[in-house]
Structure 1
């Protein structure tokens, strides 16, 4: 792979930055074997209909989870099956490693848990984590490594008569308040460098932190094979995959040390 444009410029800014923000979407997990098309967790097209005759955004909605949880759970299990066996790739690992050099915050739309598994500490999982389950009735929480541990769907709560559900934001549900509050803190504190990686940035809360880079004097870098909603706000654009781009950037940083 030839040198990316302005890679030295980005490496220099990264080496002197006081805080870095990474914004990631489904595209960062492509090198882990996950699909990148839009929709819930990057795993469904939004105009797709299910075998239940429902648009996927209806089947995966808070309303259907409350009324017919077996439908929502069926499709959540299909999403989990796509993730099963996949692991964080070089992009996730490099982002996690950067926190040893500079304070690093990761804002991700992904529900695959890869950033957490790779070791990112200051992590804003704005859409939740597919492998964290909770009971809406009694608050019981449990982590699972994969859904094969669940003997029935929907899984019953072991502490009350309720049912467990993943701690993910379904269509029509509000974003988790702790994640929103942490994002607000990051925007208040500011950052010197922001990366938008593998996301079309159609949601305002994903686009705005990238667009706001100029008010902080931050360098805005987009890594995406195709143009997106925020491409015009990028100072540096790399039209390639996340792992290839970050591996080259990491190499530049290592040579500077």
Structure 2
């Protein structure tokens, strides 16, 4: 524990603020699921790195709204690869710690991840700003359904049971707009305020991810970044913990005696 604590400068300060907090905001990216065995899409251990797909296009093109509309089978192929990685994994100690903190104070989670792990771990107030792989809908008739995984999908893209068009996951593909409901939830949370905000496992390249963290200094909230590497918001953090999410949050929960 002592060796871990040396990485977590200001741990006692964070514990004290959490004990007094009326609301806590967690902002999470792919890095929080790394301890679940999920690869990030690029970088070290990435699912795709800088390689093109079998179709000779960058992964950002294959996973774009335009390709989904034009050739949905191509986009579904790579969505299924992502889902296969999720299926073999489960929420880790970091997801569970965040959910457990709900017993102490209101917690909101803003996540870019589409793996559904925060919900599975028990978090209740989750803003899935990029959607969820397991919520399917028909772009033509609006039919909706939720699946546990893709093992029961015998065709890709799967046909809509109502109109025989094809279904797609309710996720934000490249060059698509963010969901209005999730954005409204984010704006309301930001406006309501929070006493502590964590940025975990995200490079925060998107303004809507960076803004709530950067805003902490303007509203008197404590900002803590948990990420092994420097990011777009590192300079705005009051505290920077250069370790993995599961390690940091397990130590934090031990300190809180939860």
TM-score, scaled relative to structure 2:
0.95
Q: In structure 2, how many angstroms separate the alpha carbons of the residues matched to 1:134 and 1:183?
A: 23
Quote the residue 2:39 is aligned against: 35
Residue 70 of structure 1 corresponds to 73
Partner of 1:133: 136
Decide which of 152, 162, 167 is 1:164's aligned counterpart: 167
Helix, strand or coil at the partner of 1:147:
coil
Q: In the alignment, which of 219, 222, 230 is matched to residue 222 of structure 2?
A: 219
1:40-189 superposed matches below 5 A: 43-45=47-49, 47-189=50-192
Offset at residue 202 of structure 1 (A):
0.5
Aligned residues: 252
Shift of 1:143: 1.1
Consecutive unaligned residues of structure 1, counting only runs of 5 or more, are: none
Paired residue for 1:238? 241
Q: Please say if 1:23 is aligned against 2:27.
A: yes
Q: 1:213 to 1:43 in 2, by over 3 A?
A: farther
Structure 1 residue 38 displacement after superposition: 4.1
Aligned-partner Cα distance in 2 for 1:14–1:44: 38
By how many angstroms is 1:137 displaced?
Answer: 1.1
Residue deviations 1:220-248 (CA, integer Å, cap 9, x gap): 00000111110000001100000000000
Counterpart Cα distance in 2 of 1:128 and 1:95: 19
| In structure 2, C-alpha distance between the alignment counterparts of 1:58 and 1:140, rounded to whole Å | 26
Cα offsets for 1:5-31 (capped at 9, x unmatched): 111100000010011000000000011
1:161: how far off?
2.4
**1:207 equivalenced with 2:210 (yes/no):** yes
CA distance in 2 between counterparts of 1:219 and 1:43 reads 34
Aligned counterpart for 1:6 among listed residues 10, 15, 26:
10
RMSD (Å), alpha carbons: 1.3
Shift of 1:35: 1.0
Separation in structure 2 between the aligned mates of residue 116 and residue 76 of structure 1, nearest angstrom: 20
